[in-house]
Amino acid sequence: MRPLWPTRQAARPGILARRAEHGQVIVLAAIVASIVLGMAGLAIDVGFAMHERGKVANAADAASMAGAGVLLNGGDNEAAITAALSYAEQNGYHASSTTVNIPPLSGPHKGNSTYVEVIINTTRPTYFMRVLQIPTETVSARAVAGFVPTPKNYALVILDHTACPAYTQSSSSSLTINGGGALVNSSCNPSATQSGGSSVTADYLDYYYKGGWQLGNNATTSVPPEPVGFQLADPLAGLARPIPCTSTTTYTPAGCTVLQSVDSGGTQSNPGQTHISVNNNSPSSLHPGVYWGGLKIDGNGGGSVTFLPGTYIFAGGGTNAGGVTYSGSSPLSGSGVTFFNTDDPSANSQSKQACGAFSLTGNGVLNFTAPTSGTWKNMLFWQGDTCTQTFSYGGGGWTTAGVIYLPVAQLSIAGGGNLGAMQIIVDTLKYSGSNPLSINYTDYVQVMPPKVELVE
85-94 pLDDT, tens digit each: 999 999 989 8
Same domain, 128 and 173: no
Which SS3 state, helix, strand or coil, does residue 305 take? strand
Q: Quick check: 127 and 48 in contact, CB under 8 A?
A: yes
More confident residue, 439 or 136: 439
275-327 pLDDT, tens digit each: 998 877 788 999 999 999 999 999 877 789 999 999 999 999 999 899 999 99
Residue 196 one-letter amino acid: G
Same domain, 232 and 338: yes
Residue 220 has, within 13 A of its CA and on its CB side, a CA count of 7
Alpha carbons 427 and 156: distance in angstroms, whole number? 11
Same domain, 314 and 239: yes
Spatial neighbors of 216 by CB under 8 A, at least 6 apart, are 193, 194, 195
Percentage of the chain exceeding pLDDT 90 = 64
Helix then strand then coil, % of the chain, to nearest 5: 20, 35, 45
Q: Quick check: 416 and 394 in contact, CB under 8 A?
A: no
More confident residue, 50 or 416: 416
382-415 pLDDT, tens digit each: 999 999 999 999 877 788 999 999 999 999 998 7
Same domain, 54 and 118: yes
How many domains does the chain fold into? Answer: 2
Residue 365 one-letter amino acid: V
Q: Which of 149, 178, 210 is the last residue of a domain?
A: 149
Same domain, 160 and 144: no
The pLDDT assigned to 134 comes to 64
CA 155 to chain centre: 12
Q: Give a yes or no: residue 7 inside a domain.
A: no
Same domain, 297 and 364: yes
Same domain, 256 and 404: yes
Q: Give a yes or no: residue 390 inside a domain.
A: yes
The pLDDT assigned to 12 comes to 52
The pLDDT assigned to 5 comes to 42
Alpha carbons 329 and 349: distance in angstroms, whole number? 34
Mean pLDDT score, 325-339: 94
Same domain, 134 and 227: no
Q: Give a yes or no: residue 64 inside a domain.
A: yes
32-68 pLDDT, tens digit each: 555 655 566 666 656 666 766 788 899 999 999 999 9
Predicted confidence band of residue 8 (pLDDT cuts 50, 70, 90): very low
Same domain, 214 and 322: yes
Is the pLDDT confidence value at 4 over 50? no
Same domain, 370 and 439: yes
More confident residue, 302 or 16: 302
Q: Give a yes or no: residue 6 inside a domain.
A: no
The pLDDT assigned to 107 comes to 93
Neighbours of 13 (CB within 10 A): 7
CA-wise closest residue to 182 among 446, 441, 444: 441
Q: In sequence order, what DSSP letters do the residues of 236-283 get, joined into one string?
A: TTTSPPP-B-S-SSS--STT--BPBPTT-SS-SSS---EEEE--SS--
CA-wise closest residue to 276 among 255, 294, 288, 253: 294
404-413 pLDDT, tens digit each: 999 999 999 9
Q: Which of 149, 169, 191 is the last residue of a domain?
A: 149
- Give the Å distances, CA to CA, from 223 to 35, 205, 407: 64, 7, 27
Q: Which of 149, 169, 193 is the last residue of a domain?
A: 149
Same domain, 326 and 382: yes
Domain containing 269 equals 154-450
Alpha carbons 91 and 452: distance in angstroms, whole number? 20
Q: Give a yes or no: residue 121 inside a domain.
A: yes
The pLDDT assigned to 6 comes to 47
The pLDDT assigned to 193 comes to 97
Q: Give a yes or no: residue 117 inside a domain.
A: yes
Same domain, 130 and 206: no
Mean pLDDT in the chain?
Answer: 88
Beta strands in 164-219 (DSSP E): 167-169, 174-178, 181-184, 192-194, 199-201, 205-208, 213-215
Q: Give a yes or no: residue 112 inside a domain.
A: yes
Q: Quick check: 125 and 134 in contact, CB under 8 A?
A: no
Q: Give a yes or no: residue 3 inside a domain.
A: no
Q: Quick check: 155 and 441 in contact, CB under 8 A?
A: yes
